[in-house]
Structure 1
Amino acid sequence: MGYQVLAQATVAAHFLFLAYLLVGGYLAWSARWRWTVLAHAAVVGWGISIVTVGQDCPLTWLENWARERAGQRGLARGFVDTYLTGVIYPAHYLTEVRVLVGLVVLVSWVGLAVRWTRPRAPSARSAN
């Protein structure tokens, strides 16, 4: 039972990882979350290495390990191939989806660069 819960928690963590990959750059637009740009850069770098080099994801390894200990089969393919490709979007659109994800991340970083380099207008608080 505990290993099955761990496997399911790992699936949830994987979905959160992918969500952060998509929106993490936009979180950094806020002055409050500006520091997250470093974490987002690491997540993007890891995602790129998985796609381009075939780097193994430790979350996939953990899910497979927990599933096997729970008496289940591990994933035959990676997380994205199992839960997203062919389920959320058609498999033949994989390249287009990857390009779209890359564009979403790129737009977030360009927007972040614009926000950081643009001179700030004095706020109403500082004028008083």
Structure 2
Amino acid sequence: MSYLTYLLIGHVAMLLHYLFFAYVVFGGFLSWRWPRMFWPHLLVAAYALGIVIIGWPCFLTDIENWSRLNTGREIMENGFIDHHITGVFYPPEHLMTSRYVIAGIVASAYAGLAWKLYRRRSAAVGAVSE
């Protein structure tokens, strides 16, 4: 493979990383429109939590590091978030704060879905009893 092919693969992996990260943070809100999207998002959020808390491997990080090695660049020692997100979107000393904010965003998306489903069921029960 050529240098540009390796570089393209690495850039695509980085782009997919950003999309994955955005989906983890904001994807729960899709379930407000499409409630069945809750389960895929829950699985993705659980996987992301496992990456952060347990240290599960991320195949996108492996692909990006493979690309970096084949293009003569340094690999990402601590993964995508430490390399591309921390220090860019928030200062490094606010890593835990950012994790709490992200958890709050995901929890609020799920709470909003629960409220919406509760209201829908309440309206349906009220319509039946009339």
1:24 aligns with 2:19: no
Query: Once the 2 structures are TM-superposed, how far is the Cα of residue 43 of structure 1 from its aligned partner?
Result: 1.2
Q: Measure, in 1, the Cα distance between the counterparts of 2:86 and 2:120.
A: 43
Q: Measure, in 1, the Cα distance between the counterparts of 2:120 and 2:44.
A: 29
Query: Once the 2 structures are TM-superposed, how far is the Cα of residue 27 of structure 1 from its aligned partner?
Result: 0.8
Local SS of the residue matching 1:108? helix
TM-score by length of 2: 0.85
Query: Which structure 1 residue ranges, 5 or more long, are not aligned?
Result: 123-128
CA contact (8 A) 2:65 2:75 kept: yes
* AA in 1 matched with 2:83: T
Local SS of the residue matching 2:120? coil
Aligned residue number for residue 126 of structure 1: none
* AA in 2 matched with 1:26: F
Aligned residue number for residue 35 of structure 1: 36
Aligned residue number for residue 117 of structure 2: 116
Q: State the identity %.
A: 34
Residue-by-residue CA offset, 1:44-94 (whole Å, 9 max, x unaligned):
101111111111211101111122223333212210000111222111100
- What RMSD, in angstroms, separates the aligned Cα atoms of the two structures? 1.5
Local SS of the residue matching 2:87? coil
Query: Once the 2 structures are TM-superposed, how far is the Cα of residue 117 of structure 1 from its aligned partner?
Result: 2.1
1:92 aligns with 2:98: no
1:68 aligns with 2:69: yes
Local SS of the residue matching 2:32? coil
Aligned positions, number: 120
Query: Which structure 2 residue ranges, 5 or more long, are not aligned?
Result: 125-130
Local SS of the residue matching 1:21? helix
Q: Measure, in 1, the Cα distance between the counterparts of 2:92 and 2:105.
A: 20
CA contact (8 A) 2:6 2:70 kept: yes
The 5 Å alignment of 1:97-108 reads: 97-108=98-109
Query: Once the 2 structures are TM-superposed, how far is the Cα of residue 112 of structure 1 from its aligned partner?
Result: 0.5
CA contact (8 A) 2:35 2:113 kept: no
Aligned residue number for residue 2 of structure 1: 5
Query: Once the 2 structures are TM-superposed, how far is the Cα of residue 114 of structure 1 from its aligned partner?
Result: 1.1
